[in-house]
Structure 1
Amino acid sequence: MSTAQTAAQAMVAATARLRAAGVPDPARDARVLLAHAARIEASRVTLIAPEDLAPEIAERYDHLIALRAIRVPVSHLLGEREFYGRRFKLSRDVLDPRPETETLIEVALSLPFERVLDLGVGSGCILVTLLAERPSATGIGVDLSEAACLQASANAVLHRVEDRADICRSDWFGAVEGKYDLIVANPPYIALDEMPGLAAEVREHEPEMALTDGSDGLEAYRRIAASACDFLHPQGRLILEIGSTQAEAVSALVQAAGLAQVQVIRDLSGHDRVILAQNPA
């Protein structure tokens, strides 16, 4: 990329390169990555558009565009993603937070809670958000991945909830003790035979153990449902994110486990996204 290029020219060239590589919404990504290369807010890109790019910025930008062209996710290139109005630090070791997961947050915040358990804490986006939104609450986040636990702990510190968040390695409920008002989880729900159909950004760059159970996509729900009542206070709630075709199957699992008042909640796109159930004991 020539140093004689203006920022606007560089963005046009980058957009064309990303479009040729089949990247969805290439103009948006070109703009966001230019802002990152120039170390400015994305809203200020227009201000630098007429200016020549400094050589070091042009070099950084070229490198970022090259990586995006081979489908490295933008969030990995930025090292962060916004979720429920907060920025979370990310790495290849954790699932990239999705906007759809904000539906789970809204359901969780619809009623009071003091003690929350996040199964499969990942980046910590769910647990940290819930604690940040409820300053009196405390919680535990568990994950089988030690790297994920470290990432979640870093995000807890970033958002100043570390004194109310206990994050530890556990195979679902294996290392968990006590009772909770709220249990939340966004478990791996992609069936193994669905993995080849995922976008390259997801399939090649996100941790497989956070995406699929290596089976039919329901194994995590079976394990969570089987033990949830043992860890919920009476009237405590279980909130699970699901795949858009799994509402019937997951509802049946939680009902069979003794949970009551099972509801299916849709996301803003109208897809089934969350199962809500209550411990009747």
Structure 2
Amino acid sequence: MTAPIPIATITCGARTLELGPRTLIMGIVNVTPDSFSDGGHFFSRERAVAQAIQLVEEGADILDIGGESTRPFSDAVSESEELDRVLPVIEGLSSRVSVPISIDTTKASVARQAVAAGATLINDVSALRMDPQMAATAAQCRVPLILMHMKGTPKTMQVDPVYEDLIADIKAFLANAVHMAVKAGVDRSAIILDPGIGFGKTIHHNLKIIRNLGRFHDLHAPLLIGPSRKMFIRQLLKKPGAKEMDPLGTEVARGTQAAVAAAAMQGVHMVRVHDVARTRITLAIVNAITSGVIP
């Protein structure tokens, strides 16, 4: 049974996104040397800009530009290094693409300068916990804010994550993050929530989150989910005794699309993925089935 999808409208600069009639696609551009699935592939400005433009051509509704890896056990990078990575890419894209650009960062200063360079949305995987100025920055910049659940930090999140009540705990965390953002001046209607697949969760946690995405709708915010190439997919597909699966492999790509389809069937508003072309095909069919939206 599919979950009803609440309709929402998000304003990103001069562009307005309608969330609900169909599941939107956020295309990932990692300007990093060490992201788990594509680290180093788009580390230069030219390659990152070219990749982003290709993702738009393939159907991305939003581009998410990040300069700091959040893979499990990763180390943070300095503010200056992160700025050096993302600002040239955002500046190179702002006049060349017709879709909103999101800055994936936990640092308020990076978010502020990225918005000045052309980004119109902030994606904070720490949900305001790593920089106390982030909420005020989003409010001052007047851009939508994505708040994601993560247990701990990227360095520690996969060290035996335990929950008293998984869904209730995540919902309470996100509700508190929303409260902090609104208190700082962020427009309540400009907040998007992400339950944080793979961020401080076991394989069973991730599967339970996807099965229960409909339970997050009573937080009254659009939902984003990022299952793309995540470890739980590789764990499910890995044959006993086989070596670790390549995140860029065909089987992992197919597994990602299964997770995307399941999430869309549960009423998620947006999926964050590396492979936009395959995702567009998956969602064209799922959206036609669930809501009659025919491309």
Q: TM-score, normalised by structure 1?
A: 0.32
TM-score (structure 2 length as normaliser)? 0.31
Bigger radius of gyration among the two? 1
Greater RCO (Cα-Cα under 8 Å, separation 6 or more): 2
- Larger relative strand fraction: 1
